[in-house]
Amino acid sequence: MSSTVLKNNVHTERITALDQLRGFALLTIFLVNLNKFGGLNLDHMFWIYSSFSLSDRLHEIIYILFGNSSRPLFAFMFGITMVIVYNHAIQRQLNPYLILFRRMFILLLIGTAHYLWIWDGDILFMYALDGILLLLFVSMPAWPLFMFGLLAMFLYQPAPVPISLFINGTNMDISDYFVILSTSNHWFLKPLTWLHPNFSDEFSEAMQHLSFFLFGMSAYRAGLFHLKHPTFKGIIGCIFLAIGVWGKYQIYTSNDFQWLNLTIIWDFSVSIGFALIFLFLSSSRFSWLVHPFAWIGRMSLTNYLMQSLVFGSIFIGGSMAALGEIAFVPPIPFAALLPIGIVFFILQIGVSKLWLKHFNYGPVEWLWRTGTYWNVSPMRRKERKTAAVRHADE
């Protein structure tokens, strides 16, 4: 009896830590997208082309911390979820590939609708494309996943400046040398534009982000979330974070940084740093600092769409999709937009907590789960308890 309880507790802690990290990843994506949500177009070459206003300074700090690192972090979590869904399907004696394919296809449809009608900065469609590609890898153990992640990273990321200059004096992707891997002209993908108007571009983005998903799957397979020494995770996380922030600072503040094009190294280093630090905090006495992120993390898809829905319909220029036509507030300085965004995110945490007191899933998560498993899951918590009692009586 005690061993069963212990196993259940370990499982619960693991899921809670993942929800917390997923919620934090949602915050980072929201903060990075906030200037676009508000109809702004702030420069990324800091201290070179931008002014010295408070808005620019705040935007620079956020971009150095989270810019181009929020997507890798969320993709890392997405890869972990793929493995969890796969494992649960195996345990329930279901076809994991059919379940994951349905799950990704539904996300493709949600991403298309999000792009066309709500916000043109959608990432869901690209993530769904990667999810379909990951069906080829999801059953692999940790080390092959890690090696394929490295291969994807080197094939679809810009070459280092010295290599690029040695080749032809310009910065370019190594993948441009391989016709079959070239992301510049996917002519064979044009018939699929019926599914998404920019399918070719989305496919290119998916291939460039594939490594992050593979690394997440590899980390979960390797037992990253079961390390016995949480302090070790925190120390390693701080090292990764410091290295990544240093590299990103050099990129965005200097034209002479020799390894300017190795953005993938610095961006993903920040992502891994935040992930390890969060895992340390979730299992320490400071867990209260990260616990609120679990509520919003459990409803990350609903809250992501809600952010686009609210800000895209308010600020002029915040969305080029159909929803942007009803916007009525002109762009405001980022220094004023940032506190509005933070307050909105805090409200989302509160609403998510209140919702999850009465329901098992967020509304979009429930629809996604229903389509994935082709079965209507109990929405209200009372229904779940009643079903559990009925099952026990039988």
Same domain? For 27 and 56 the reply is yes
Are residues 298 and 315 part of one domain?
yes
Instruction: Tell whether 173 is covered by a domain.
Output: no
CA 276 vs CA 95, 143, 280, 290: distances in Å: 32, 19, 6, 13
Picking from 127, 102, 103, the residue whose alpha carbon sits closest to that of residue 114 is 127
The answer to whether residues 333 and 365 belong to one domain is no
Of 121, 112, 128, the C-alpha closest to 315 is 121
Q: Is residue 48 part of a domain?
A: yes
Do 300 and 349 reside in the same domain of the chain?
yes
Query: Do 319 and 371 belong together in one domain?
Result: no
Pair (366, 313) in one structural domain:
no
| The model's pTM | 0.85
Q: What is the mean pLDDT of the segment spanning 317-333?
A: 90
Of the ranges 43-47, 95-99, 153-157, which one carries the lowest mean pLDDT score? Answer: 43-47
Residue 74 pLDDT > 50:
yes
Q: Which comes out higher in pLDDT, residue 209 or 386?
A: 209
With a cut of 50, say whether residue 66 has pLDDT above it.
yes
Who's near 303: CB < 8 A, 6+ residues apart? 26, 296, 348, 352, 362
Return the pLDDT at 191: 65
pLDDT at 311 over 90: yes
Looking at the domain assignment, is residue 334 inside a domain?
yes
The total of structural domains in the chain comes to: 2
Closest alpha carbon to 361 in 303, 287, 291, 289: 303
Higher pLDDT, 54 or 133: 133
Burial of 128 (0-12, 13-18, 19+ CB in 10 A): buried
**DSSP H stretches of helix in 156-299:** 161-167, 199-221, 230-253, 263-282, 287-290, 292-297
pLDDT in the model for residue 12: 40
- Does 301 share its domain with 335? yes
Q: Judge whether 371 lies within some domain.
A: yes
Exposed, middle or buried: residue 15 (CB in 10 Å: 0-12, 13-18, 19+)? middle
Express each pLDDT in 200-209 by its tens digit.
Answer: 778 878 888 8
What proportion of the chain, given as a percentage, has pLDDT over 70?
Answer: 78
Domain that includes residue 393, residue range? 359-394
Is position 137 within any domain? no
- 313 has pLDDT over 80: yes
Residue 180 lies in a domain: no
Residue 131 lies in a domain: no
Q: Are residues 340 and 390 part of one domain?
A: no
> Is 85 a member of any domain?
no
381 and 327 within one domain: no
Q: Where are the alpha helices (DSSP H) in 92-180?
A: 96-113, 124-133, 142-155, 161-167
* Cα–Cα dist 336/62, whole Å: 14
Most confident of 7-11, 208-212, 249-253: 208-212
Least confident of 38-52, 118-132, 211-225, 350-364: 38-52
End-to-end CA distance of the chain: 21
